[in-house]
Amino acid sequence: MARVLVSEKLAEAGLELLRARGHEVDVCLGLTPTELQSAVSDADALIIRSATVVDAQLLDAGVQLQVVGRAGVGLDNVDTAAATSRGILVCNAPESNVVSAAEHSVGLLLALARNLPQAHAALTNGRWERGLWAGTELLHKTVGIVGLGRVGRLVAQRLAGFDVRLLAYDPFVSADSARAINVEMVELDELLSHSDFVTIHLPKNADTVGLFNAERFAKFKPGARLVNAARGGVVVEADLAAAIENGQIGGAALDVFDTEPKTESPLFGRPEVVVTPHLGASTHEAQHRAGVTIAEQVALALDGDFVPFAVNIAAEDASDALRPYLGIGERLGAFLGGLVRGIPDDIEVKVAGEIGGYDRRILVLSVLRGILGRIVSSPVTFVNAFEHAEKMGVLVRDVGSQDAGEFRNLVEVRGGGHSVAGTLVRSGNEPRIVMIDDHSVEVPLADYMLVIRNDDQPGMIGIVGTILGTAGVNISFMGLGRDRRGDHALMALASDEVIADDVLETLNAEPGIRSASLVQLD
């Protein structure tokens, strides 16, 4: 059982999920920074939203922290680099609020085009101003989308029904990908000069802070309108106010600001400006989804499992083709560790076949977790596995190859004078060992594996079977293999239960048997 500290309001469904997994959940809202440092000192996990600042000082106070989870998308308030250096996994819920954010962006754009908030305010204040708040149609207008990620794509799909021309700028998205949703990719300056509306969907980072400044506003089509429901700080608000004042920008709708909460701004009160207090993710559906998603990610991290939405490992880059091999990679690592009876000085992980061309780091991490997990006293995670190996002086080599021999894909691990290789069979659902110590041998990966090296002579299988049968050991599967010279052989047997030490001693004392060792993977 782990202790999970929740410092901001989280959907009850997420809290219940963590409790159902057996974890202690402490919800502590409104803590001061000093109180939070005290509360996190014995926490294994910290779940936050946007208000909690997770800096190096807080991470130092969390001496037991394994994971920080952000119930939302942005991680502006988390020092991810500091967490990584401490072996702490950072994860978020990147898909939890994308629909809500996209819908809010479209809502702001429509409100801006038709002056809805201004007309509403006038009428509720007793003024019938029908002639003052004439708007503009979207029909045949050009909308520029800056950032064609998850939210940007949803915005494009929703705006398509208004019969508008859609332009987009995103250096990480191909023209073919954009064309699939009827969006034309262009450079940023071209987008700005042609768009009647510009909507921003960028993360906040060193490249985007202050991106929309006075110099950038001068490149807008005169009278164009700007929407930002992405991240505060991307727009220089004083420069935007000046651009609206001089008529270069016709209006703006903002949901996010450079500092929050914000109640005073040169933009507030202007008739051309629509503002909302960071409501992009504020729907019941998004909050429920974020709470459940981040609880699932944190639970996986506490179990030491693969976390799909981890941001400080190559989780999102892990190919769908590669992910099924993470489990077998870890068990192959554990198998090699059992053969070596320790930690090798040099470990080579070779990934061959169709998956050999992908980024293989996440699979190498899985192998290291299998090898080191039973020896290192602290948890070995996808974040700190390389760090553990480096501290122990283990050289880790990653090899990729397109040649997997007779197999579609193959994962091979070498170290300490031993080797093991495995693959997935039966439509990729069943892990199978196909090589042990350079002997071609096929056997399922079971919790108890007996590996016997023997002289290649008649009667050896009968001898082994008699000894195990007499001891009441049930063998569920046996694989046989010869070495290349043909004078030695290897048996790999899957057992339903642990094999006693005295049985192993009997096997090792038998003439013709060179060694018999038990590898436990449970």
The answer to whether residue 278 is catalytic is yes
Tokens of 25: 């959940």
**Residue that wins the pLDDT comparison between 378 and 338:** 338
Q: Which are the contacts of 270, defined by CB distance < 8 A and separation ≥ 6?
A: 241, 244
Residue 313 within a domain: no
**What DSSP character marks residue 161?**
G
In this prediction the pTM is: 0.68
pLDDT of residue 74: 82
Tokens of 343: 């930690």
Q: Is pLDDT of 378 > 60?
A: yes
**Residue that wins the pLDDT comparison between 87 and 220:** 220
Q: What's the CA gap between 219 and 217, in Å, rounded?
A: 5
For 241-248, what is the mean pLDDT?
Answer: 97
Q: Which of 72, 67, 61, 60 is nearest to 8 (CA)?
A: 72
The single residue of 231, 331, 360, 418 carrying the catalytic annotation is 231
Q: Which are the contacts of 447, defined by CB distance < 8 A and separation ≥ 6?
A: 520, 521, 522
CATH number of the domain at 15, please.
3.40.50.720
Residue 388 within a domain: yes
Q: Is pLDDT of 115 > 90?
A: yes
For 58-72, what is the mean pLDDT?
Answer: 95
Mark whether 360 and 225 lie in a shared domain.
no
The single residue of 70, 104, 216, 278 carrying the catalytic annotation is 278
Say if strands 142-146 and 197-200 run parallel, antiparallel, or are unpaired: parallel
Q: What's the CA gap between 102 and 98, in Å, rounded?
A: 6
Mark whether 113 and 54 lie in a shared domain.
no
Q: Which are the contacts of 119, defined by CB distance < 8 A and separation ≥ 6?
A: 129, 133
Name the percent of the chain lying above pLDDT 90. 77
Mark whether 230 and 202 lie in a shared domain.
yes
- Angstrom CA distances, 172 to 176, 303, 443, stand at 12, 33, 44
Q: What's the CA gap between 58 and 168, in Å, rounded?
A: 39
Q: What's the CA gap between 58 and 84, in Å, rounded?
A: 14
Mark whether 147 and 259 lie in a shared domain.
yes
Mark whether 159 and 271 lie in a shared domain.
yes
Q: What's the CA gap between 229 and 98, in Å, rounded?
A: 11
pLDDT tens digits, one per residue of 398-441: 999 988 889 999 999 999 999 999 999 876 678 999 999 999 99
- Cβ pair 300, 293 in contact under 8 A: no
Count other Cβ atoms within 10 Å, centred on residue 203: 15
* Residue 314's pLDDT band (cuts 50, 70, 90): low
Residue 312 within a domain: no
416, 437, 458: which is the final residue of a domain? 437
Q: Is pLDDT of 156 > 70?
A: yes
Mark whether 44 and 189 lie in a shared domain.
no
- Cβ pair 25, 6 in contact under 8 A: yes
**Residue that wins the pLDDT comparison between 244 and 322:** 244
CATH number of the domain at 511, please.
3.30.70.260
Beta strands in 21-141 (DSSP E): 24-27, 45-48, 67-70, 89-92
Residue 496 within a domain: yes
For 97-109, what is the mean pLDDT?
Answer: 97
Full domain range(s) for residue 197? 98-275
Q: Is pLDDT of 442 > 60?
A: yes
- Angstrom CA distances, 229 to 316, 443, 517, stand at 24, 55, 61
Say if strands 409-415 and 346-353 run parallel, antiparallel, or are unpaired: antiparallel
pLDDT of residue 377: 77
Mark whether 249 and 110 lie in a shared domain.
yes
Q: Is pLDDT of 357 > 90?
A: no
pLDDT of residue 486: 64
Q: Is pLDDT of 317 > 60?
A: no
Q: Is pLDDT of 277 > 70?
A: yes
Q: Assign residue 349 a region: left if phi > 0, alpha if psi is -120 to 50, beta otherwise?
A: beta
pLDDT of residue 318: 58
Domain count, the chain: 4
Residue 311 within a domain: no
Name the percent of the chain lying above pLDDT 70. 98
Mark whether 297 and 361 lie in a shared domain.
no
pLDDT tens digits, one per residue of 466-509: 999 999 999 999 999 887 666 789 999 998 888 999 999 999 99
The single residue of 12, 35, 260, 497 carrying the catalytic annotation is 260
Mark whether 111 and 91 lie in a shared domain.
no
Mark whether 124 and 162 lie in a shared domain.
yes
Q: What's the CA gap between 200 and 230, in Å, rounded?
A: 6
Q: Which of 77, 71, 7, 65 is nearest to 36 (CA)?
A: 7
Q: What's the CA gap between 41 and 24, in Å, rounded?
A: 15
For 266-288, what is the mean pLDDT?
Answer: 95
pLDDT of residue 272: 96
- How far out from the chain centre does Cα 143 lie? 31
**Residue that wins the pLDDT comparison between 427 and 124:** 124
User: Exposure string (b/e) for 111-128, b if CB count within 10 Å is 16 or more?
Assistant: bbbbbbbbbeebeeeeee
pLDDT tens digits, one per residue of 165-217: 999 999 999 999 999 999 999 999 999 999 999 999 998 888 999 999 999 99
Mark whether 109 and 216 lie in a shared domain.
yes
Q: Which of 392, 313, 403, 430 is nearest to 360 (CA)?
A: 313
Mark whether 240 and 128 lie in a shared domain.
yes
Mean pLDDT of the chain: 92
pLDDT of residue 20: 97
pLDDT of residue 262: 94
